[in-house]
Structure 1
Amino acid sequence: MQLKDQAAIVTGGASGLGAATARRLAKEGAKVAICDVNAKLAETVAKEIGGVAVTCDVADSASAEAAIAAAAKAHGPARVLINCAGIGVAKRVIGREGPMALADFDRVIRINLIGSFNMIRLAAADMTKLEPLTTGERGVMISTASIAAYDGQIGQAAYSASKGGIVGMTLPIAREFAQFGIRVLAIAPGLFLTPLLAALPQEAQDSLAAAVPFPHRLGDPSEFASLVMQMIDNAYLNGEVVRLDASLRMAPK
């Protein structure tokens, strides 16, 4: 799909993988709506790339509906949806203070998994009504899973479950949306230099990077954005989850 003048939505687009993707989409000529709970950061990135910022809680139905409507009002219905919004919580199922609070598990599932599904269902409702492009496509949807979906570590039960859910729903949704010419994909990134990891001491960053087989470093968000572009461009890629992890397989802890 050629991106010039096409409308795109990036959730979690105010920082990290989402911001890098929003910048790359805009560079390729797309009209980008940045949906994020951090309105101030979203405005900053939107101003930088000539896009529009939309405050959005992806796990809330009304908030997501309003965000989709606002993005469509600014740029028209989106042909591209990139789900990058998410959180990570490291907690053991049974910790020093007893069982993990159910609310903590619920929050991760709601934001990471239900939030991704929520945006997919709402964006698809508009996308299915678009005229197909010359390739027969109406759109592309890409969600962010994680290698934790496959190699979850101790303390990642909630996070791994949420990302495993994204992996699990990618193929059935791709099969359902095939009739509309909408491709559905996911990326499972490894260790990337996002704001969360960048806040760690350099020694800790170096230790994490040393575990990566090759190249021996943390991933750069621009490399995630590059894979997003390749997925959008390759019309035969559909229903797939691609690991982007420099062959890293995480240890139990």
Structure 2
Amino acid sequence: MDPKGMAAVVTGGASGLGRATAIKLIEAGAKVALFDRNVELAEKTAKEIGALAVECEVTSEESAVAAFAKARDAHGIARICINCAGLGGSRRIVDKEHKPMVLEHFRRVVEICLIGTFNTLRLAAADMSTLEPVNDEGQRGVVVNTASVAGYEGQIGQSPYASAKGGVIGLTLPAARDLASWGIRVCTIAPGIFYTPLLMGLPQDTLDMLGKQVPFPKRTGHDYEFGSLALEIVRNDYLNGETIRLDGAIRMGPR
């Protein structure tokens, strides 16, 4: 599907993988709305790249419904939805003082990474289903979600994150099958170690060490490489129901 002239939504679009993806879509001619709970950063990014900033808490039905309405009023119904909103963090199930993980931490990570993804997927798909197909095959739109290699090989301390991202991976095929009758494709990208705001606070020697764990190329991934794959998924009509690892062939160890 050619994104030129089409409306697109990118959640978590103010920074990191979302920002890079938004840039790729804009370069391809799409009209992009950046959904982010950090509205000040979203407005700054939107001004820099030529997008629309929309405040959105993806875990909230009310907030997400309002965000889609604002984007719809500005650009029309989005045929493209890229879900990049997420939350990391490392905590063990039982710490060194024998205390269990605070349940709210697990709940919050799952709410943002999994429930937030499903929330925007369902709303985007409902809008797309009302559109006329773009071709004689009946295609109406595409949703691209973001998982992680942690969804396959979660490390120590990643129980909440791995559970949530594993859920996004598990959602991909049934969502694609569910929405096939509407001509809506669903794919997921599972990135490995990427240089994003989550890693920017780490010392350079730590970043170098992480990069050396990657078989090839021996470095952390660049955000534009994620954005490039997201754009290709939009363009390639036969990509559907698939989770694509983007990780330089890394397979994560326990630590």
Asked if these proteins are the same fold (TM beyond 0.5), I'd say: yes
- More displaced 10-residue stretch of structure 1: 45-54 or 84-93: 45-54
Residue identity opposite 2:251 in structure 1: R
| Whole-Å separation in 2 of the counterparts to 1:127 and 1:250 | 37
Residue 7 of structure 2: aligned partner? 7
Letter matched to residue 61 of structure 1: E
Question: Which residue of the partner structure matches residue 240 of structure 2?
Answer: 238
Identity level (%): 56
Other structure's SS at 2:198 match: helix
Normalised to the residue count of structure 1, the TM-score between the two structures is 0.99
TM-score by length of structure 2 reads 0.98
Matching residue of 2:104: 103
Give the CA deviation at 1:128.
Answer: 0.2
2:116 corresponds to which letter in structure 1?
G
1:213 aligned onto 2:215: yes
Distance 1:169 1:228 in 2: 17
**Could you give the per-residue CA deviations for residues 34-89 of structure 1, whole angstroms, max 9, x where no partner exists?**
00011111111111222110000000110011001111011001000000000002
User: For each residue in 1:5-57, what CA deviation from the matched residue of structure 2 results, as whole angstroms up to 9, or x when unmatched?
Assistant: 10000000000000000011011000000000111111111112221100000
Give the whole-Å Cα distance in 2 for the aligned partners of 1:198 and 1:103: 26
| Distance in structure 2 (CA, Å) of the matches to 1:175 and 1:195 | 34
Deviation >3 Å, runs of 4+: none
1:21 aligns to what?
21
Aligned runs of 1:21-60 on 2, under 5 Å? Answer: 21-60=21-60
CA distance in 2, matches of 1:38, 1:227: 25
Give the counterpart of 1:184 among 180, 183, 186. Answer: 186
Whether 1:116 aligns to 2:87 is: no
Alignment of 1:117-156 (within 5 A): 117-134=118-135, 135-156=137-158
Q: Distance in 1 between matches of 2:42 and 2:93?
A: 34
Unaligned 5+ segments in structure 2 are none
Give the aligned partner of residue 81 of structure 2. 81
Distance 2:218 2:16 in 1: 20
Q: Kindly tell me the number of residue pairs found equivalent between the two proteins.
A: 253
Which residues of structure 1 form unaligned runs of 5+? none
